[in-house]
Amino acid sequence: MAPNDRSPARRDNRSSSRRGGGGNPGRGGVTVAREAHGRERTLIEHDRLPLAFACALDGLARHRAAGEPLDKVVAAIARERHLGPRERRATADLAFSWARHAIAVEKILQTAQKQEGGVAPRRRQLDLAAICLAGVAAGVEVDSRAVAGLPAFLIALVEDSAAAGVPLPVSLPPWLKKSLEARFSPEVIAALTRPARPDLAVDRRVMSVTDAAAALVAAGTTAVASPRCQTAIRITDGGLSLRKLSTGLRRAVWPMDEGSQLVADAVGAAPGDRVLDLCAGGGGKSRLLASTGAVVIAADIDAGRLHHSTPAGVTAIVADGTNSPFRPGSFDRVLVDAPCSGTGTLRRAPDLAMRLDERELPELAARQKALLTAALELVRPGGRVVYATCSLLDVENDAVVNAVVNARTDVNRVGESRYLLPPDSDGFFIAVLERRA
């Protein structure tokens, strides 16, 4: 059966035994097979598995087999299966709930299997139970048809968890949990592990923030202008379909976390300034910088990404930020949104915590220092460099800035470095430096 076929394939009991499905038929007397990506092909017994659960299951299998980020896997499955906005959100909610509680859920399942004994359920059945348990803990709606496809002892486990309403701890590796607890309050850490609301950025060359917010409200979205960021709109009802917006509104707004917009705002770009976005990535900050009337150069080492994401009015140049082709002192402002661990973005990529390796941090910090040093050479005397990360780890933030500043005699800090923190935004670090004349 093709992976994107929504219709379950039916097998008789004899065929199920040969394929490893085993067990008794489901409540409707039908054993259903769904094909996972990769080598794993197992059976789930149920009447009909809801589409979002089937997609989330395939996402977990692909994520585990290939090690790809879960958000990219979910997005790819949504494209392959042509999911609508509601199905796409439901699939993401289920997959990300699992990622937030994976460690705790696996321990619960292991305990339940030991108590039950006998032949262990298939991996795909365990994944379905894990999704259901994590969904219950996260307050995500869990379809009873999905629960019905589980073995009896797992059905009882999910139903008992739902009845008890006991919250599950969020999955953070011990080293990361210790690092976060040493600097941030329990409230910040808790907010970091909850889903993020959608924010929008507004290109004020196309439409004012006030007009964009009013147009969103007229389109049925609860939207308000941000009180702390002059380009941001907060979506307060949690739902937004950009495809349903008018053409003019789609030209003016795009999804972008408020904290990320505040990083661009910290550059202080003015009309006519020559501004370099040294690690441009997806181009959102370059677009905001260009909307001020500045002359913006977007540089990034990833040619494909740069080609597909460079906004109008911005010049794109493929370059390694540590060895760029630009003349020293040729920019008024330089933004270094440095590659980092991404620990401030766990609200949007909860599986990231379990993919991080503490041993990789020194290598990241060395590259960050090289990028910041290069940026200080490219800015003119009297110009400013903004160093930012979406990390909450000191080794990538103040430690990097201090090491670079202390090695030079021509750099001043402008104010204190600061963190932007959830629940107001994703986690960001910002430091502003000035090259002395």
* Cα-Cα end-to-end distance for the chain: 68
- For residues 298 and 414, membership in a common domain is answered with yes
Could you tell me if residue 352 is inside a domain? yes
Domain extent, residue 306, equals 260-435
Whether 378 contacts 196, CB under 8 Å: no
Domain edge (last residue) among 164, 190, 219 = 164
Q: What's residue 21's pLDDT? A: 37
Would 374 be classed as within a structural domain? yes
**Is residue 4 in some structural domain?**
no
Closest to 405 in 3D by CA, of 416, 413, 397 = 413
d(CA 353, CA 179): 12
CATH number assigned to the domain comprising residue 105:
1.10.940.10
Buried residues in 31-50 as b, exposed as e (16+ CB within 10 A)? bbbbebbeebbbbbbbebbb
Give the CATH number for residue 315: 3.40.50.150
Amino acid letter, 115: Q
- 184 within some domain: no
* Among 164, 186, 208, residue at a domain's last position: 164
Choose the final residue of a domain: 117, 149, 164.
Answer: 164
Residues in the chain: 437
How high is the pLDDT of residue 238?
57
Q: Annotated catalytic sites, by residue? A: 390
Helix (H, G, I), strand (E, B), or coil: what is residue 301? coil
Task: Give the pLDDT of residue 239.
Answer: 65
Question: Is there a domain that residue 382 lies in?
Answer: yes
Q: What is the largest CA-CA distance in the chain?
A: 82
Give the model's pLDDT for residue 24. 38
| Pair (159, 283) in one structural domain | no
Does some domain include residue 320? yes
Q: Is the residue at 237 inside a domain?
A: no
How many domains, the chain? 2
Q: Does 157 share its domain with 274?
A: no
User: Taking a C-beta distance cutoff of 8 angstroms, is the pair 199, 256 a contact?
Assistant: yes
Per DSSP, what are the bridge partners of residue 304? none
Residues 6+ apart with CB under 8 A from 55: 74, 77, 78, 81, 83, 87, 91
Complete DSSP assignment for 121-153 = PPHHHHHHHHHHHHHHHHT----HHHHTTS-HH
| Same domain (yes/no): 387, 282 | yes
Judging by DSSP bridges, how do beta strands 379-389 and 428-435 pair with one another?
antiparallel
Give dist(CA 160, CA 39) in Å, integer: 33
- Look at residues 402, 394, 277, 287 and name the one whose alpha carbon lies nearest to residue 340: 394
Burial of 394 (0-12, 13-18, 19+ CB in 10 A): middle
**Rounded alpha-carbon distances, angstroms, from residue 27 to 195, 317, 385:** 35, 60, 64
224 located within any domain:
no
The reply to whether 159 and 264 lie within a common domain is no
Low-confidence ranges of the chain (pLDDT < 50): 1-47
